[in-house]
Structure 1
Amino acid sequence: MPFTYLNPGKPTTFKDRHVTKVAETVRTYEEGLKGEVGLIGLPSSKSSISLSMAANAPITIRTALQSFSTYEASTRRDFKGMTVLDFGDTPIHPTSVEETLERLHVSVLEMLEEEACERYVLLGGDHGVSYPAIHAFQKKYGTVGVLQWDAHHDVRNLEDGGRTNGTPFRSLIDGGLLAGSHLVQIGIRDYSNAKAYDDYCQKNNIHVYTMDDVEEQGIIPLVQKEITRLAEQVDMMYLSVDMDAVDQAHAPGCPAIGPGGLTSRELLTSVRIAAKHHKVKAIDIVEVDPSKDMRDMTSRLAAHTMMRFMYR
C-alpha cells in the first residue's frame, strides 16, 4: 500500500510549481547528449602552498545551485530551458601532483573533444588546476587569452616547491602555451606579492591591474578594454576566477583571504561583461575552501559567478 506522506529514498523539499532551480537544469553527461554549458569538477588542492580543503569545493558549489532560480529579474529572462551537462569530477592521484595534473589535463581535453557544449565551467580545486585546463583549451582551440581575477600574480618560481597553486601562469608562459601579453590580471593587491614576481610580469608584458587601478578606472571599462584588445589577438578567451580576489568580507572561505579586495558586485558584474563576448569559451572558479567558509557564503558567491558566466 502506498504511503500517504512518506517518499522513501527521496529528499523532503518544498517545490513551487513556478520556480525552476539552477540545479534542475543540470544533467549527467551521456554520450550523444548536447547542451549549452559543460560542467567539470577539478577537485585538486594538494598543491596548495597553504593548508586547503579546496578539493571539496565542486561539491559545495553544485549544492549551492539548488538555492537559486533560473529567473533573472534585471532582464526579465528565464533560463530554465538551458541544459548544463555535468561531466563529473576528475579523480586525483593520492600522492603525485604531476600525475594529478596529467589527469586533469586529459579529462578537460576529452570533455572538449566530445564537442557537446558551446561553453564550459570548471570548478576547482586550487589555482594549480588552471595550468592543465588552459593547456587543454590551447590544444583544442589555438591561441588563448586569459582574464585572471586574483589578489596574486601566481607566477612563483618552481625551484622552491615545484608546480603549486602559485605557479600556473608561470608554467603556461614559460612553457610557451600562453603569451604574457595575452594574460590580464585584475585585482592584484598590495602586500600579497613579491617584487620579483611583479618584475616577471613586467618583463613578460602581462597586463596587470591592481586594486588602485580598479578604483581609478572602474572595473567595467577596464574589462571591456581588455576583452576588445584580446579578441583581436587570440582564437578564444578563458576566464580564471580566484575567489581570493574578492574582499574577505564577501568571500571568507578562501585559504588566502585579505582586506581591500573586490566586492561581490564588482566580481559578478565584471564576469558578466567579459562573458558576453563570443570568444569567451570557459571559466574556472578556484580557491574556495568550504572548511573555512561561513554559511557557504563563498560557495554561493562562486555559484553566482558561474551563473553570470552561463546566463550572459
Structure 2
Amino acid sequence: MTDQTPIGPVDSSKVPRFAGFATFARLPRIDEVERADVAVVGIPFDSGVSYRPGARFGPAAVREASRLLRPYHPGLDVSPFAEKQVVDAGDIAVNPFNIGEAIETIQDTAERMTADGTRLVTIGGDHTIALPLLRAAAKLHGPVAMLHFDAHLDTWDTYFGAPYTHGTPFRRASEEGILDTEALSHVGTRGPLYGKRDLEEDRRLGFGIVTSGDVLKRGIDETVDALRQRIGDRPLYISIDIDVLDPAHAPGTGTPEAGGMTSRELLEILRGLRDLNLIGGDVVELAPAYDHAEITAIAASHVAYDLVSLLSLGK
C-alpha cells in the first residue's frame, strides 16, 4: 500500500465468498498493509473454562461465519472499512497448559499491537482473556469504563482455588485498579447464583446490573440511555460473552443459560452506543462444537462487525 487509502475486503463479485483465505470479513491480513487503525485478532485459548470446553476454536469459526459481512453498515450509516484501515491480525498463540503464562503473552502482545494507536477487536477464546486485554488498555488510557455483556457476573473470587479463570477476570481487574469503578455495568445477566452474596460482592466492586429481564421490560432505548449516562465520555472497553444471548440464538457456547437476550436486542444496544469513547472490545466463549448451522458463529461475527463499525466512528 503506497497511500493512506484503506484496503478493503476481497471483491465478492470477482472471488466467491466461499473461496479464498478465511480472514475476518475477507479483510486484508496485517502483513499486507502499512498500518492498521483497527485490528481483529483471535485468541484461541480456553484453558480457563469451568464447564464445556471448545472456545479455542472460536476465532476460526467467526472468520468462516464472517464471509457474508458486507462493507456498508446501514444501522450505523458507516462504511467501516473505508473509514479506517481494518485488518485481520491473525491469532495470538498462547500456552494452553499454563494460564499464567498465557495471560502474560496476551498482555504483552496486546500492548505491542496497540502502542501505535491501533485498536483491537479480539475474538476468543474464553473470558479469561479479558483480564490481560484490560491491563493493556489501562496502560494506555488509565482505568477504563467497561460494559460487560454476559449471562454471568464473572466476578467470582476463585474456582477450585484458581484465581485466573473465565469466571474471575473482572474481580481481578477491579482489585488491580484498572477499571473505573464509577462506570461499570453488566448487561444481560440472568440465571441462578451461588448465593445472594454474589450480588453484594459484585456491587461492592462497583458494578451496576442490567439483567436480560430489565432489557425486556425497559426496552432498548431506556437501556441504552441508562448505559450512556453511566459511561459518559470515559475511555470504554466492551466485553461480550456470546452466552449473553439466549441459547435459541447462541447454542454454541460453554455455559448456556435460559432466558437470554435476542441477537437483535444485543445489536441494537451496541448501535445505541455510537459516539462513545470506545477503545476496544472482545467477543468470547463461542464454542462451535455445540453450534448448529453456524447460528452462534454468525451472531458473533455480526457482533464483532458492530464493534469494528463503532470504532470506525469513534473519537
Global fold match (TM > 0.5): yes
Conserved in 1, the CA contact under 8 Å of 2:25 and 2:68? Answer: no
Alpha-carbon shift at residue 187 of structure 1 (Å): 0.9
Number of aligned residue pairs: 295
Q: Is there any run of 5+ residues in structure 2 with no aligned partner, and where? A: 1-9, 311-315
Q: Residues 172, 74 of structure 1: CA spacing in aligned structure 2 closer, same or farther, 3 A cutoff? A: closer
Q: Residues 75, 212 of structure 1: CA spacing in aligned structure 2 closer, same or farther, 3 A cutoff? A: closer
Conserved in 2, the CA contact under 8 Å of 1:181 and 1:207? Answer: no
Conserved in 1, the CA contact under 8 Å of 2:28 and 2:87? Answer: yes
C-alpha deviations, 1:151-197, integer Å up to 9, x for none? 11001112633111000000101122224333210111032553222
C-alpha deviations, 1:122-165, integer Å up to 9, x for none? 11111111011011100111120000111110011126331110
SS at match of 2:179: coil
Q: Residues 71, 20 of structure 1: CA spacing in aligned structure 2 closer, same or farther, 3 A cutoff? A: farther
Conserved in 1, the CA contact under 8 Å of 2:150 and 2:188? Answer: yes
Alpha-carbon shift at residue 273 of structure 1 (Å): 1.7
Q: Which residue does 2:255 correspond to in 1?
A: 256
C-alpha deviations, 1:181-219, integer Å up to 9, x for none? 332101110325532221101223311112232222223
Could you tell me how far apart the structure 2 residues matched to 1:179 and 1:158 are? 22
Q: Which residue does 1:5 correspond to in 2?
A: none
Conserved in 1, the CA contact under 8 Å of 2:220 and 2:269? Answer: yes
The answer on 1:189 being equivalent to 2:186 is: no
Conserved in 2, the CA contact under 8 Å of 1:25 and 1:83? Answer: no
Could you tell me how far apart the structure 2 residues matched to 1:226 and 1:76 are? 22
Q: Which residue does 1:96 correspond to in 2?
A: 98
Conserved in 1, the CA contact under 8 Å of 2:79 and 2:309? Answer: no
Of the three residues 285, 304, 307, the one matched with 2:305 is 307
C-alpha deviations, 1:20-70, integer Å up to 9, x for none? 999565222239722342111121101101121101111111121212222
Aligned pairs for 1:222-301 within 5 A: 222-232=223-233, 234=234, 236-274=235-273, 276-301=274-299
The answer on 1:167 being equivalent to 2:156 is: no
Aligned pairs for 1:144-159 within 5 A: 144-158=144-158
Conserved in 1, the CA contact under 8 Å of 2:76 and 2:309? Answer: no
The answer on 1:16 being equivalent to 2:13 is: yes
C-alpha deviations, 1:220-268, integer Å up to 9, x for none? 3223322233224x3x100110111100000000111122100010011
Q: Which residue does 2:55 correspond to in 1?
A: 54
Q: Residues 75, 20 of structure 1: CA spacing in aligned structure 2 closer, same or farther, 3 A cutoff? A: farther
SS at match of 1:277: coil
Identity %: 27
Could you tell me how far apart the structure 2 residues matched to 1:75 and 1:100 are? 36
Q: Which residue does 2:129 correspond to in 1?
A: 129
SS at match of 1:181: strand
Q: Which amino acid aligns with 1:140?
A: L
Conserved in 1, the CA contact under 8 Å of 2:17 and 2:68? Answer: no
Conserved in 2, the CA contact under 8 Å of 1:19 and 1:69? Answer: no
Conserved in 1, the CA contact under 8 Å of 2:57 and 2:125? Answer: yes
Q: Is there any run of 5+ residues in structure 1 with no aligned partner, and where? A: 1-12
The answer on 1:220 being equivalent to 2:218 is: no
Larger Rg: 1
Q: Residues 196, 75 of structure 1: CA spacing in aligned structure 2 closer, same or farther, 3 A cutoff? A: closer
Alpha-carbon shift at residue 111 of structure 1 (Å): 0.7
Q: Which residue does 1:107 correspond to in 2?
A: 109
Alpha-carbon shift at residue 84 of structure 1 (Å): 1.6
Q: Residues 288, 194 of structure 1: CA spacing in aligned structure 2 closer, same or farther, 3 A cutoff? A: farther
Q: Residues 28, 176 of structure 1: CA spacing in aligned structure 2 closer, same or farther, 3 A cutoff? A: same
| Runs of 4+, deviation exceeding 4 Å | 17-25, 73-80
Conserved in 2, the CA contact under 8 Å of 1:237 and 1:282? Answer: yes
Q: Residues 225, 99 of structure 1: CA spacing in aligned structure 2 closer, same or farther, 3 A cutoff? A: same
TM-score by length of 2: 0.85
Conserved in 2, the CA contact under 8 Å of 1:37 and 1:84? Answer: yes
- My pick for the range that moved more, 183-192 or 14-23, is 14-23
SS at match of 1:72: coil
Query: CA RMSD for the aligned pairs?
Result: 2.6
